[in-house]
């Protein structure tokens, strides 16, 4: 029911997803009258009388709308009726409700939003956090790195993905005191074999693919995400404008079209839609609010892949393995 478009987008995406995933089942959570037009042998409607608005305050979503589609959907995960929940709705409300119902894993103080951004190597760089936590301590960034490593190990079948700490320079002496301390914790984790930390990285390294995972606070991560979305939109607009100009520019555009088209496809943020809320005792995914049917289907695929590849168990195992490091008081970590 959430997002900018609601069922007009989500229902076609659900049908396409089911048609290409013969072993999947969907629970469509929302107002029955809006979902009644959908019928599929592997889908059923779970009624919810309320909807969390995109501009609803977190307190309203959490305390007053107790029968919202968002809350009922996450409850399905808590009750074991579903392996993952997906919403295109209010991000703050989704995080708050998910954290309230599912709780965080032992050793994790704050969940993080993680997604993939395209890089020059033809793959994608996993970045977290993307907006759930604006102010992060060094310990939070360490936790994000542990959880991100578990996610990428599922996505890339790589048990030792590389981790970079986003900073204003590669040198260890650069950055705020909190970032410097985060670097110390990450290097300590690398020394014990808990992480494959390669050091500080800069913003352009996200798109170079220097590290498999880039860790940052939610403010910086959200800016990076919105930047690439804006670049993709600008490129698409540029291509449309050039093809509508005079004959000379049309010819030039025609020659460059294959290259520009390939670049536009790689930068298309719809292909990377579906951000995981890591650190919870259940799988929850966030779709972009403005997602079209193609993008929402991609988010469904991400949730399906996570459940199918035991992402939750892998995150739990990684966090448990790193528990001694995560639970050590900060002054002792620095002393070590």
Long-range Cβ pairs for the range 50-58 (8 Å, 24+): 51/1, 51/2, 51/89, 52/2, 52/89, 52/90, 52/93, 53/90, 54/2, 54/3, 54/4, 54/89, 54/90, 54/289, 55/90, 56/90, 56/93, 58/92, 58/93, 58/96
Q: How many CB atoms are located within 10 Å of the residue 73 CB?
A: 27
Q: What is the pTM of this model?
A: 0.84
Q: Which residues of 12-42 are buried (b: 16+ CB within 10 A; e: fewer)?
A: bbbbebbeebeebebebbbbeebbeebeeee
Say what the pLDDT of residue 113 is: 94
Say what the pLDDT of residue 223 is: 83
Say what the pLDDT of residue 239 is: 61
Say what the pLDDT of residue 271 is: 80
Say what the pLDDT of residue 232 is: 63
Say what the pLDDT of residue 292 is: 94
Tens place of pLDDT for every residue, the chain, 336 residues? 989 999 999 999 999 999 999 999 999 999 999 999 999 999 999 999 999 999 999 999 999 999 999 999 999 999 999 999 999 999 999 999 999 999 999 989 889 999 888 888 888 899 999 888 888 999 999 999 999 998 898 878 888 999 999 999 989 889 899 999 999 999 999 998 889 999 999 999 998 999 999 999 988 888 877 777 676 666 667 666 656 666 656 555 565 556 555 545 555 667 879 999 999 999 999 999 989 999 999 999 999 999 999 999 988 988 888 888 776 544 444 444
Q: What digits encode the pLDDT tens for the residues 223-245?
A: 877 777 676 666 667 666 656 66
In degrees rounded to 5, what are phi and psi of residue 283? Answer: -90, 125
Q: Which domains does the chain have, with CATH numbers?
A: 103-335 (3.40.718.10)
């Amino acid at each position: 029911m959430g997002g900018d478009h609601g069922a007009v987008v989500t229902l076609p995406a659900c049908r396409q997803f089911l048609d290409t995933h013969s072993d999947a089942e969907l629970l469509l959570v929302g107002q029955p009258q809006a979902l009644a037009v959908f019928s599929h042998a592997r889908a059923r409607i779970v009624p919810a009388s309320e909807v969390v608005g995109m501009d609803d305050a977190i307190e309203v979503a959490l305390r007053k709308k107790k029968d919202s589609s968002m809350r009922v959907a996450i409850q399905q995960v808590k009750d074991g009726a579903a392996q993952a929940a997906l919403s295109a709705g209010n991000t703050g409300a989704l995080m708050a409700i998910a954290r309230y119902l599912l709780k965080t894993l032992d050793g994790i103080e704050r969940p993080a939003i993680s997604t993939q951004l395209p890089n020059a190597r033809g793959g994608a760089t996993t970045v977290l956090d993307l907006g759930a936590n604006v102010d992060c301590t060094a310990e939070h960034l360490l936790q994000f790195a542990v959880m991100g490593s578990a996610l990428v190990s599922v996505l890339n079948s790589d048990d030792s993905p590389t981790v970079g700490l986003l900073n204003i320079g590669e040198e260890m002496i650069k950055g705020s005191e909190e970032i410097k301390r985060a670097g110390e914790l990450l290097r300590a984790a690398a020394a014990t074999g808990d992480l494959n930390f390669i050091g500080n990285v800069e913003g352009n390294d996200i798109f170079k693919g220097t590290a498999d995972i880039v860790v940052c606070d939610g403010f910086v991560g959200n800016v990076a995400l919105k930047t690439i979305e804006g670049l993709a939109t600008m490129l698409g607009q540029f291509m449309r404008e050039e093809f509508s100009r005079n004959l000379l520019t049309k010819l030039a555009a025609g020659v460059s079209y294959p290259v520009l088209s390939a670049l536009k496809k790689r930068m298309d943020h719809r292909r990377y839609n579906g951000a995981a809320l890591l650190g919870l005792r259940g799988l929850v995914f966030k779709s972009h609010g403005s997602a079209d049917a193609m993008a929402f289907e991609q988010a469904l695929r991400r949730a399906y892949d996570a459940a199918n590849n035991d992402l939750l168990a892998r995150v739990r195992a990684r966090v448990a393995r790193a528990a001694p490091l995560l639970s050590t008081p900060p002054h002792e970590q620095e002393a070590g």
